[in-house]
Amino acid sequence: MDVVPVEGPRDLAHFVEFPLDVYRGRTHWVAPLLSDEKARLTPGKNPFFEHGQAAYFLARDGGRIVGRIAASTDRNHDAIHDERQGAFGFFEARSAEATAALLAAAESWARGAGATIMRGPLSFTTNDECGLLIEGFDRPQPLLMPYNPPEYGGWIEAAGYRKAKDLFSFTLAGPYTPSPTFQRISEMARRRSGVVTRPIDMKHFDQELARVKELYNGAWEKNWGFVPMTDAEIDHMAKQLKPAVVPEFIRFAEVEGRPVAFLLYVPDVNLALKAVRGRLLPFGIFHLLLGLPRIREGRLMALGVLPEFRRTGLAPALVTELGEVLNRKGYRLSTIGWTLEDNDAVNNLTLGYGCTQSAVHRIYAKPLAA
């Protein structure tokens, strides 16, 4: 078995297209758009590369591709957490042997870049797709949540990796009706704080985006693994999500005119992407355009409250309001997540609304010897 670096457009095409072969016949996996995947991996098209670097590797056995992996480092992560982290991501493999060889190549590259610890899967940071699915294989994962074969966990652990952190996801079927206690907390928050809630104003999208950035970085700055998003990264993500945005699904909470919390819920575009099979041309774009208006499932991607306004009931107020909107639009299933396993406040809030834990994604770690 040989592990070789990706060099040139042909290798990159093999890297991007390899999962189509791995997941052939697996009904719960949804192929991303191959054009988007190439852009994610390309400096100049993904703003991650303004503060990070990466290398890509393919594993070949007798000329046949049997695995892929990306290795990366991120100056922003290292500055925030005062460490030198290497990350592996975009991982796919056909065997434990290929897994070990790919991880060894990624570790060697990261060690050469000065890293002292390896974590993953991170493609490329916790702001992107991250974690390995270890529970919840009986259903597809929603937009931007990884799905992988169940054997991957054992293969990664056999290469010396151990759990660093688990990420929880929850589901809830409509109609969305909070418990009387939950409803009472929401009403109390409105009375006591004088909070005003509203949807995003698409006519002033750039200004609203600046508010999202401030709230996102302020609300998550103390979280495990958090890396602040740059202006370019916020703009890039917004550009990707904007075609699927329903304005009523993005909500702000304001106190005395100051935004202090926000909620981001998006339709599960994966339901439309499934029929596209990774390619917009020649017919994929028609499947996508036909499928998008029919989506009635979604994902609550973010719910952030500035630290000084936590424990005031603002989060329940936003969630209750979102539930009313989802009911009006006929949404029948929602995924909430991910959340950190030890974020008891958010996890208890989610369970208190009536959600059920449905998936666990795991981030692994391994110290890198000098």
Residue 310: is its pLDDT beyond 90? no
Would you place residue 63 in the very low, low, confident or very high pLDDT band (cuts 50, 70, 90)? confident
Distance from the Cα of residue 110 to its chain's centroid: 23
110-145, pLDDT tens digit by residue?
999 999 999 999 999 999 999 999 999 999 999 999
Averaged over 48-53, what is the pLDDT?
98
d(CA 82, CA 49): 20
State the chain's mean pLDDT as an integer.
93
Q: Write out pLDDT tens, residues 191-201.
A: 777 788 999 99
Residue found by looking up tokens 């095409």 in the block: 13
Task: Kindly report which listed range (217-221, 252-256, 259-263) carries the lowest average pLDDT score.
Answer: 217-221
> Considering the chain, what percentage of its residues have pLDDT values greater than 90?
74
pTM: 0.94
Structure tokens belonging to residue 45: 């098209």
For residue 4, pLDDT beyond 90: yes
Mean pLDDT calculated for residue range 273-280: 84
- More confident: 283 or 303: 303
| CB environment 163-176: b (16+ within 10 A), e (fewer) | eebbbbbbbbebeb
More confident: 292 or 297: 297
The amino acid that residue 99 corresponds to is T
Q: Give the pLDDT score at 179.
A: 83
Work out the pLDDT band at 281, boundaries 50, 70, 90: low
38-49: average pLDDT: 96
pLDDT in tens, 315-358: 888 999 999 999 999 999 999 999 999 999 899 989 988 999 99
Q: How confident is the model at residue 285 (pLDDT cuts 50, 70, 90)?
A: confident
For the segment 277-300, the average pLDDT, to the nearest whole number, is: 81
Question: For residue 145, what are the CA distances in angstroms to 41, 148, 211, 217, 357?
Answer: 18, 10, 25, 21, 15
Q: Tell me: domain 2-167, CATH 3.40.50.1980, correct?
A: no
Tell me what the mean pLDDT of segment 95-113 comes to. 98
CA-wise closest residue to 355 among 308, 295, 303, 292: 303
Domain residue extents for the chain: 2-167, 172-362
What single DSSP character describes residue 113? T
Instruction: Please tell me if the domain spanning 2-167 has the same topology as the one spanning 172-362.
Output: yes
CATH number of 172-362: 3.40.630.30
